[in-house]
Structure 1
Amino acid sequence: MPSAPASPVRVGTATDQGPRPSQCDAVTVTRIPLSTTWAAALVDGYGPHPDVPAAAQGAALAAIRSALSGGSAPAALETAGRTLTGRDADDWPEPDAVGAVAVGDDQRVSVAWTGDVRAYVLDPDGQTLHQLTTDHTEGARLRALAAAGEPVAEDPAEHDHVVTSTLGRLAADPASMGTATHSGPWTAVVLTSDGVHDALDHAELHRIVAATADPAQCAAALVAAARAADARAGAQAVDDNATAAVIRQG
């Protein structure tokens, strides 16, 4: 018997600048023509350079163009990195950014990332939200050392915003890219910048994704919840650009 047609894919994004002086997050999602494949890119630019917002937008668009031409998630992320050609006096990328690209269809999701942009997959029953990415930060590295029994003198939480891989450094250090694949059915794929997932714990993020079937409403709810959490946190607020992309089947 012929296989059942793939469920239609619906997408939504939301972003909020927050109290930061500029919007340095960039997000775009597209469906690949004449196929069930889709691609999403979320780029989080950082640093005081005035060209960071434009650089983040350019990197996200370059990633999507690569995916539209048949590129894999890692190839699309590498393409995004190649747009960041500026260098400071010490030959470090400037402006620079972190980011994630996801490419998928109804049975498979592939993700490539740098830094602390995250990707999640919601199981078909809605009971489990898997985090596909692992943060490339100094805080995460210190936690891993502590978990392995190594002595750690510093508080890892104090280093969670020190990223250890970036898009601008990929050309010089391609091994720094993270990759992951989810094989099998899924209900939703979610990409978030740290302005969302640093403000919300995993249980709250899961609750919103599982309860909100419309992807645009889901993305908006994630950003709104992050802003509400910031308001409650007072001096401990994340107060960063907050961005989410949601891809949903059915």
Structure 2
Amino acid sequence: MEITEDYKIQYAHITDVGCVRELNEDTLYCDDRLWLVADGMGGHACGEVASQLAAETISNEFSKSGQLPKAIEAAHQKIVEAAESGNGQFGMGTTVVALTSNNVNYQVSWVGDSRAYLWDKNKQQLTQLSEDHSLMVRLLKSGLISAEDAKNHPQRHMITQCLGSVEIENVLVDNYFGSWQAGQQILLCSDGLSDDVSEAAMVDILQLEISSQEKLAKLTDIAKNLGGRDNISIVLVDSPVQKVPSFWQKLKAVFVKSTN
């Protein structure tokens, strides 16, 4: 496998207000090195301000330091300060999941319950990389609740931390480190997708031989058909790793070229 010097990482993104909310409080950020989904919370308390501040601060701080967790921590402080100064309102907050890629290596960092999944086309396998910062995860880990009960628990949407929470002095940023393989994609999403669309349904769409943008449109449509109770935001990033042609593939290419 190799990465060609002129290869640019390909990605697609989409955001939709859904079927219930009047305002889209999600914010996306995408460039050649950083991709993120910020899911603002607060409604009238300016969740959209919190998510926009998170995206702006993380992208700016990351461009300076190259340290994603540090950039996310800075965003938390920025949102708290903004609320205190009247830019937005007290109680606004946001979750965030972000991806950065450097050559064959990548890092996923997150706070809250926005998620990152790894889709491996060759293995036809979808793996959740992030772990929700939520009450349900804590209860499941402690054995106090079953996975089946968690699906309909009245507090299933309660998260244990977010950017902008005045109850937390410093957020705990979790990280996942990996190496790209050919045929892989990383999907970042707000819980407007993951709450309503099962992993099996995601696989059904991701395995289709259509463009990434078309896949995201179909995933969004599924979430909306299931109620679209929240804003839906998704980013899908391709692996930069390309398969190296075998000796026989190269020989065949030369032969075909010479006969044309």
In the superposition, the TM-score normalised over structure 2's length comes to 0.77
Q: Which residue of 1 aligns with 2:14?
A: 14
Match runs of 1:62-211 below 5 Å: 62-85=57-80, 86-87=83-84, 94-123=91-120, 125-146=122-143, 150=144, 155-156=149-150, 157-169=153-165, 172-174=169-171, 176-185=172-181, 187-211=184-208
Structure 1's 4 and 249: CA in aligned 2 closer, same or farther, altered over 3 A? closer
Judge conservation of contact 1:52–1:95 (CA < 8 Å) in 2: yes
5+ residue gaps in structure 2?
A: 241-260
- Structure 2 distance, partners of 1:4, 1:54, is 38
Q: Which residue of 1 aligns with 2:253?
A: none
- How many residues align? The count is 227
Which one is further off, 191-200 or 76-85? 76-85
- Structure 2 distance, partners of 1:198, 1:160, is 10
Q: CA RMSD in A?
A: 2.7
In the superposition, the TM-score normalised over structure 1's length comes to 0.80
Q: Which residue of 1 aligns with 2:233?
A: 243
Q: Which residue of 1 aligns with 2:243?
A: none
Q: Which residue of 2 aligns with 1:55?
A: 50
Q: Which residue of 2 aligns with 1:5?
A: 4
Structure 1's 129 and 100: CA in aligned 2 closer, same or farther, altered over 3 A? same
- Structure 2 distance, partners of 1:99, 1:145, is 25
- Structure 2 distance, partners of 1:245, 1:8, is 16
SS state of the match for residue 15, structure 2? strand
Structure 1 residue 116: deviation in Å?
A: 0.6
- Structure 2 distance, partners of 1:208, 1:133, is 21
Structure 1's 201 and 151: CA in aligned 2 closer, same or farther, altered over 3 A? closer
Judge conservation of contact 1:196–1:223 (CA < 8 Å) in 2: yes
Structure label with greater radius of gyration = 2
Judge conservation of contact 1:139–1:158 (CA < 8 Å) in 2: no
Structure 1 residue 87: deviation in Å?
A: 5.0
Moved over 4 A (4+): none
5+ residue gaps in structure 1?
A: 32-37, 231-237
Structure 1 residue 229: deviation in Å?
A: 2.4
